[in-house]
Structure 1
Amino acid sequence: MTSEVEVVHKPAGPSADIQRSLDEDSMVDGPLISADALYSAIRREFQTVPTPYHAGLLSVLHVVYVVLSVCLAVLCVLKAGQEEVCTSILGKVHGDSVIVFGKVALWALVLLFTGCVQHHHSRARSRGYLRFYRQMQGLKHLPLTVHSSGNVLLLVVLAAGLSPNVLTYMLLSILGLEVLVAVPCLLYYTVKVMRFNRERAAPDVSQEEHSRNFSVTSMPTETGFRECSSLEEVVEKQADLIEYLKQHNTLLSKRLLNLTSQH
């Protein structure tokens, strides 16, 4: 009886360890996927942000509107000898009213542009480009802020009851100030987004993983708490990161299956 118990509890020998290692190796048969392959696969599927074309078109329309407004004010409002031509084109509508209507239409285009930019930037954030989304957070709303401020100044000028000539000069001054501020902002935004599209960088998490794998002195990630960062900012960053990681895990599983089948 004692010998049987000893046989049951006898520790496994070297042959059992070898058999166990062979069984474990059989579970991971197939080619291994390198980190470079996954990184390059994700990099190839980079989706550009198409808003530079919208920003360029909006800049051109803004400049054209200001030039036409100045011509209309000089020829039709300030009475430069073209009253008959203005009457035949505008009819009974006053020149200042046409400029104001154009201002409203331009503001509506800027509002539409801001909504389009917000949509594409939110898609970029969902793809993991959190740093780019935060860098452009204030810049993408700046043109709408400038035009809305111009509308407020225009309402104040219209409510002041100024003489027609003074009103026209004030209106042109507001339009000139807007174009001097809004167009450079749009151009700067266009340069930033075009640079982002040209770099075709991997998502932030992939960049951090890649830098930790191939750099000895890699910088720490920004997902933790820092002394100079507020709690709300940390929570917001972590929420964005969790949302991206859910989508990234699904995408990465598909990449593993595709690359394994190719090898």
Structure 2
Amino acid sequence: METKEGPLYAPAGPSADMTRSLEEDSMVDGPLISADALHSAIRREFQTIPTPYHAGLLSLLHVVYVVLSVCLAVLCVMKVGQEEVCASVLGKVQGDSVIVFGKAILWVLVLLFTGCMQHHHSRARSRGYLRFYREMQGLKHLPFTVHSAGNVLLLVVLAARLQTQVEIYMLLIVLGLELLVAVPCLLYYTVKVMRFNRERAAPDVSQEEHSRNFSVTSVPTETGFRECSSLEEVVEKQADLIEYLKQHNTLLSKRLLNLTAQH
């Protein structure tokens, strides 16, 4: 197809090739940024997750609550020779009521801790650590689930209106089982997060890119939709890639500005 000025799609001549080659040479002659420098910059900007301290404090409070509940049940509910001390400390409040009130306060603390975990893990996810976010997804909600199940069992025991001795034994059994499940979960969570903070790894996309650059046998990560992958997983991977690229471009801009200032 031709117009009055000549062909619509004219082949590029030698001048166009020479211009393109000069532009490419000017880009190549510029200062190159090594991948190791970018990875080291990402590692320096790594932000730790502070929840291990909260988990340790919550575990300590849980242990102290269970120990005090056992002492309160033995001395004040079963009345093993300490009625006057319990009356002076608790007043007209029953010992089993104090145990239930303490359980409610502990549940509120676990709820606040779960919200704090969700906030910090969501921030880690936005910084590109989607694999770590998925790995901790079930574990970070497990303490709250255990405490909520313990509350349900306590309500069942109280609603059954058993004898005082039987009821307090059942309460202590529920609290003991809850302690044996919740505290190991918190300790395991603490170890996992402390290991993540100590490794100070680069975002997931950066690690995959680095492994593809230095490993011939590595399989490229697929970011598109496949029959065996869910749409939610694909969207999360794409969001992870976008967040990483934003950080990657920010680091590139900083490096270019520093190199420009040096020259």
TM-score range, shorter chain: 0.7 to 0.9
8 Å contact from structure 1 (residues 126, 243) kept in 2: no
1:6 alignment counterpart: none
Distance in 1 (CA, whole Å) between partners of 2:17 and 2:122 is 53
CA-CA distance at 1:161 after TM superposition: 1.0
1:50 alignment counterpart: 50
1:255 alignment counterpart: 254
1:25 alignment counterpart: 25
What is the TM-score of this pair, normalised by structure 2?
0.87
1:5 alignment counterpart: none
Distance in 2 (CA, whole Å) between partners of 1:206 and 1:259 is 22
8 Å contact from structure 1 (residues 33, 260) kept in 2: no
Counterpart of 1:204, as a letter, is D
1:146 alignment counterpart: 146
1:120 alignment counterpart: 120
Matches within 5 A, 1:77-88: 77-88=77-88
Gaps of 5+ in 2: 1-12
1:3 alignment counterpart: none
CA-CA distance at 1:35 after TM superposition: 1.1
Counterpart of 2:88, as a letter, is S
Distance 1:133 1:262, change over 3 A: farther
Gaps of 5+ in 1: 1-10
1:207 alignment counterpart: 207
CA-CA distance at 1:165 after TM superposition: 1.1
Distance 1:20 1:196, change over 3 A: closer
CA-CA distance at 1:248 after TM superposition: 2.3
SS at match of 2:202: coil
CA RMSD of aligned residues (A): 2.3
Distance in 1 (CA, whole Å) between partners of 2:65 and 2:257 is 52
**Identity, % of aligned positions:** 79
Distance in 1 (CA, whole Å) between partners of 2:216 and 2:160 is 66
Distance in 2 (CA, whole Å) between partners of 1:143 and 1:81 is 36
1:185 alignment counterpart: 185
CA-CA distance at 1:31 after TM superposition: 1.6
Distance 1:95 1:262, change over 3 A: farther
CA-CA distance at 1:259 after TM superposition: 4.6
8 Å contact from structure 1 (residues 150, 174) kept in 2: yes
Distance in 2 (CA, whole Å) between partners of 1:70 and 1:22 is 82
Once the two structures are superposed, residues 199-256 of structure 1 have per-residue CA deviations (whole angstroms, 9 ceiling, x without a partner) of 1100001101111111111233153445554333333333x32541453244234333
Counterpart of 1:37, as a letter, is A
Distance in 1 (CA, whole Å) between partners of 2:166 and 2:222 is 54
Distance in 2 (CA, whole Å) between partners of 1:258 and 1:94 is 70
Counterpart of 1:252, as a letter, is L
Distance 1:235 1:261, change over 3 A: same
Distance in 1 (CA, whole Å) between partners of 2:71 and 2:224 is 57
Q: Report the count of equivalent residues.
A: 251
Q: Structure 1 residues 25-34 or 83-92, which shifts more?
A: 25-34
What is the TM-score of this pair, normalised by structure 1?
0.87
SS at match of 1:123: helix
Distance 1:257 1:90, change over 3 A: same
Counterpart of 1:70, as a letter, is V
Distance in 1 (CA, whole Å) between partners of 2:154 and 2:178 is 11
Matches within 5 A, 1:61-140: 61-140=61-140
Distance 1:24 1:227, change over 3 A: closer
8 Å contact from structure 1 (residues 125, 133) kept in 2: yes
2:7 alignment counterpart: none
1:8 alignment counterpart: none
Distance in 2 (CA, whole Å) between partners of 1:23 and 1:125 is 39
Q: Structure 1 residues 209-218 or 240-249, which shifts more?
A: 240-249
